[in-house]
Structure 1
Amino acid sequence: MHDYVNWFRHSTPYINTHRDCTFVVLLPGEAMAHPNFINIIHDVMLLNSLGVRLVLVHGSRPQIEERLKARGLDSRYHNDLRITDLDTLACVMDAVGSLRIAIEARLCTAPSGQRSRLRVVSGNFVTAKPIGVVDGVDFHHTGEVRRIDRKAISQHLDEQSIVLLSSIGYSPTGEVFNLACEDVATSAAAALNADKLILLGPDTGIFDADGQLLRELKPTRATALLKALGNSLPGSLLKAACKACDGGVRRSHIVSFAEDGAVLTELFTRDGGGTMVSQEAFEQIRPATIDDVAGLLELLRPLEEAGILVRRSREVLETEIGQFTLIERDSMIIGCAALYPLDDSRSGELACVAIDPDYRHGGRGDQLLASVEAQARKLGLDTLFVLTTRTAHWFRERGFVPSSVERLPAKRASLYNYQRNSKVFEKSIS
């Protein structure tokens, strides 16, 4: 009894710290098949009662394998991704639907003496896109996350509901895609600016080459571990934890789904019980200087080669460097945007918006846009124009509306490249 009272007293600071925080919890299919799963559900319910905002993401890999085997179908993979043809998709939908119902049923079971039930919400919160054809291999209905409906999820969290996401996503054209549960979890954590991503695996945490548990790990130290772990479940979880940190999630935790109370031990004790992956890297938005030209060239080159951005030479960048705003992380340029005031008008052109592919979650594009809009207002501008060929949807989602070449100031309109055929958008910032 004394140990229990002592533990409870020492957990109080953590209870206060975690209240009103947003946690994304990944439950792989292996976790749901383990006898300890019922205890995990009880711990989830306890976190909810303590005021933690919870998003649960569940996987289904072993359950899909069972259904494929039962139907006499083979599992096909390429680059460690499942190829989801129509027959496989039927097994995926069957497995995911059954697991979702099972989780909801468990969460609706009120603990002894508790009359109120938890509210569990699931739905089409994940917009997906197809992976398509890679190396000549058609992945059919295997997809990747395109967008997380942050606003809708946040509203349900505000109402103290638990949000349940599966490894299925939907396209705007009504197609269904099989997703990696790690992709859903990391994308959700980044989109929601989650305080923590909790990943449940088969082991206590991540171990070094000598078999010692790593209590804390920085993503920069994970390269050798990822290589050693390969495509195992612990390897996938560590990769997801590193990706989440790069996406702006401050801390990720890898704990065991086989150990009773592992989640609570990790969250409510000083030493924890698993592996915490944290990224405390310094990041800032600042004006560009001439010393940044080389870094800008490296950031922009892939987008220029893909035809997404207009190619800029080193000489042009050196001349126009004063127009650029950067995001710098650990002395590396990971994002940029340029503002060009347009002559004889109170408008400016937003150009060269780019984020390093490894850092495209976490709202950095929005931070750059806000910074550029603030600069434009200081210059007395009331309208921003942008010309784009491939990212129209991103700008439209941020208040830009379709415009035309005729709406551009005359001098800028005279430089319009009709061969490139960029779409013109504008936004009032007054």
Structure 2
Amino acid sequence: MLEYVNWFRHSTPYINQHRDCTFVLMLPGEAMVHANFNNIIHDIMLLSSLGVRLVLVHGSRPQIEERLAARGVQSRYHNDLRVTDLDTLGCVIDAVGSLRIAIEAQLCTQQSGSRLRVVGGNLVTAKPIGVVDGVDFHHTGEVRRIDRKAIARHLDEQNVVLLSSIGYSPTGEAFNLACEDVATSVAVALNADKLILFGEDAGIRNEQGELLRELKPTRAAPLLQQLGTSLPGNLLQAACKASNAGVRRSHIVSFADDGALLTELFTRDGGGTLVSQEAFEQVRGATIDDVSGLLELLRPLEEAGILVRRSREVLETEIGQFTLIERDGRIIGCAALYPLEGSSAAELACVAIDPTYRQGGRGDQLLQHIESQARSLKIDTLFVLTTRTAHWFRERGFVPSSVERLPAKRAALYNFQRNSKVFEKAL
């Protein structure tokens, strides 16, 4: 029970952060036949109840294949893209229509205490792909335009917008679209806060099978080549396209894992792969807006006597001395550099890392940043005073020193009651 309470408390910032945001969720046809789909529906209803503006885009590839097989129609592909002739289009319309009814029915259940209004319509204008390499793709198309104003109006009225992988031309024709194309185009048109793409796996894995928690589009080329036109490859391609077009964050999560969506959205580390131009975790200088976060990080260490207690007023005055590690908007590490007046030395102080993140080399990252900053200020000696972490500093080139070695003004402020050990490092 306590674990649940703690999780709920830590999710509060994300609940506030996501309220009134626009999320585009893409559910491939494979997700809708999986045993976990009912749980995904419940999680979608929860997001709506928390004030998230939702656009759902669903695919239908396996359902189309089933109908083609049942009718004895041969699937045709060129460059890994389906050729949609009239017989195939009939199967596409049948599959999409059946799936839409099933999704609407599930979203209209009142198990959560509220009934969602689901809307759709001819909100996606399509154009034919045409003839490529001499192959006529017939009714296979691509997105031409998204009716952004109409979708935004529905979202303003607290409706969930449900879109399929069918688009319509101004001449009244229907075209079979890739659901990734629809989802990405909608996210870009709406300037969505997030594009969430569901796949079978937890996210994108590297060649060693390790889950990549964060990925920038500029680093994705080798993975895209490796994954090809598989579902993970298509999802990663869509995420990179959205990111390059201005969508701040795209998430790839599993439709097979119960709670994957909530874990990705309401925990600091998530559970899938985040594709973003921005760094999920970054080292930066502190600002006055960071004081509350710093107090939260430092308080347990101050109470344990590891760090000297600093009041809010002191932190506000000295905030310019601090360097932070920020992870998804939360401060998980800090260090401060205090140049010592009348000398070419400085003091490294207040080095702290959130206990959850102490195994990732973040202390070394902060130290390197501080040393680089000190060198730019023409500082040639770095002092540190510590009661508990002497070995950590010694392992990083600091050598035992003494109070007498400190510049006079700093030595005069030495707290003999704390009896901190003094170390120094030549830069």
TM-score (norm 2): 0.65
The structural deviation recorded for 1:280 is: 3.0
1:81 aligned to 2:81?
yes
Counterparts of 2:94 and 2:57, CA distance in 1: 17
Counterparts of 1:147 and 1:29, CA distance in 2: 23
2:252 is matched with which residue: 237, 251, 254?
Answer: 254
1:264 aligned partner:
262
Percent identity between matched residues is: 82
1:42 aligned partner:
42
Counterparts of 2:62 and 2:224, CA distance in 1: 22
2:33 aligned partner:
33
1:424 aligned partner:
none
Counterparts of 1:72 and 1:192, CA distance in 2: 40
The structural deviation recorded for 1:167 is: 0.1
The structural deviation recorded for 1:122 is: 1.1
Give aligned pairs, total: 279
Aligned residue runs from structure 1 range 268-347, under 5 A: 268-280=266-278
Counterparts of 1:75 and 1:244, CA distance in 2: 29
Q: Deviations over 1:171-197 (max 9, x none)?
A: 001000000000000000000000000
1:181 aligned to 2:179?
yes
1:13 aligned partner:
13
Aligned residue runs from structure 1 range 105-254, under 5 A: 105-111=105-111, 114=113, 116-254=114-252
Task: Indicate the SS of the match to 1:15.
Answer: helix
Counterparts of 1:164 and 1:13, CA distance in 2: 28
The structural deviation recorded for 1:7 is: 0.3
User: What one-letter code is carried by the residue in structure 1 that aligns with 2:152?
Assistant: S
1:66 aligned to 2:66?
yes
Counterparts of 1:181 and 1:279, CA distance in 2: 23
Counterparts of 1:280 and 1:43, CA distance in 2: 27
User: What one-letter code is carried by the residue in structure 2 that aligns with 1:155?
Assistant: R
Task: Indicate the SS of the match to 2:23.
Answer: strand
Task: Indicate the SS of the match to 2:224.
Answer: helix
Counterparts of 2:169 and 2:209, CA distance in 1: 43
Structure 2 segments unaligned to the other structure (5+ residues): 280-427
Task: Indicate the SS of the match to 1:169.
Answer: strand
User: What one-letter code is carried by the residue in structure 2 that aligns with 1:63?
Assistant: Q
Task: Indicate the SS of the match to 2:45.
Answer: helix
The structural deviation recorded for 1:249 is: 0.3
Counterparts of 1:69 and 1:167, CA distance in 2: 20
Q: Deviations over 1:108-157 (max 9, x none)?
A: 00115x1x311000110000000000010000000000000000000000
Task: Indicate the SS of the match to 1:182.
Answer: helix
Aligned residue runs from structure 1 range 385-400, under 5 A: none
Task: Indicate the SS of the match to 2:14.
Answer: helix
User: What one-letter code is carried by the residue in structure 1 that aligns with 2:268?
Assistant: R
User: What one-letter code is carried by the residue in structure 1 that aligns with 2:99?
Assistant: L
Counterparts of 2:132 and 2:278, CA distance in 1: 35
2:95 aligned partner:
95
Structure 1 stretches of 4+ with a deviation exceeding 3 A read: none
1:56 aligned to 2:56?
yes
The structural deviation recorded for 1:262 is: 0.1
1:22 aligned partner:
22
The structural deviation recorded for 1:211 is: 1.1
Counterparts of 1:227 and 1:151, CA distance in 2: 36
TM-score (norm 1): 0.64
Structure 1 segments unaligned to the other structure (5+ residues): 282-430
Counterparts of 1:194 and 1:44, CA distance in 2: 16
Counterparts of 1:134 and 1:280, CA distance in 2: 37
Counterparts of 1:99 and 1:184, CA distance in 2: 16
Counterparts of 1:60 and 1:223, CA distance in 2: 27
Counterparts of 2:277 and 2:159, CA distance in 1: 29
The structural deviation recorded for 1:209 is: 1.1
The structural deviation recorded for 1:279 is: 1.1
User: What one-letter code is carried by the residue in structure 2 that aligns with 1:121?
Assistant: V
Bigger radius of gyration among the two: 2
User: What one-letter code is carried by the residue in structure 2 that aligns with 1:247?
Assistant: A
Q: Deviations over 1:191-215 (max 9, x none)?
A: 0000000000000111111111100
Counterparts of 1:20 and 1:243, CA distance in 2: 24
Counterparts of 2:150 and 2:132, CA distance in 1: 33
User: What one-letter code is carried by the residue in structure 2 that aligns with 1:216?
Assistant: E
Counterparts of 2:162 and 2:134, CA distance in 1: 35
